[in-house]
Amino acid sequence: RVFLTGVALFGAASLVCGLAQEPWQLVAGRFVQGAGAAMASPAALALIALLFPGTEERAKAFGIWGGIAALGGTMGLVISGALTGLASWRWIFLINLPVALAAVV
């Protein structure tokens, strides 16, 4: 539940950021995004620990999670730069919506 709540909160805040008309709205949305991420990230690690009880399986799952997290951080910079150049800065936030929706549903 914590994971799903965090992802839903992150997704809702992404929508707020993408539609922000005033700087304070963007700042508030980013604050809530941080709260959602702070809920989802540790919960994701807890889910991995729960779903992979064997020591070897768990180590492999954590390794994959770490690699994907690092790749996501790197690719996020590239994709956000491309989105900003091709469309608008708003799409940096709006692109999170389908991902969050898929995770929650």
3-state secondary structure 8-55: HHHHHHHHHHHHCCCHHHHHHHHHHHHHHHHHHHHHHHHHHHHHCCCH
pTM score: 0.85
Per-residue confidence (pLDDT) for residue 47, from 0 to 100: 92
Per-residue confidence (pLDDT) for residue 63, from 0 to 100: 94
Mean per-residue pLDDT, 25-32: 97
Q: pLDDT per residue over 40-89, tens digit each?
A: 999 999 999 999 988 899 999 999 999 999 998 899 889 889 989 999 99
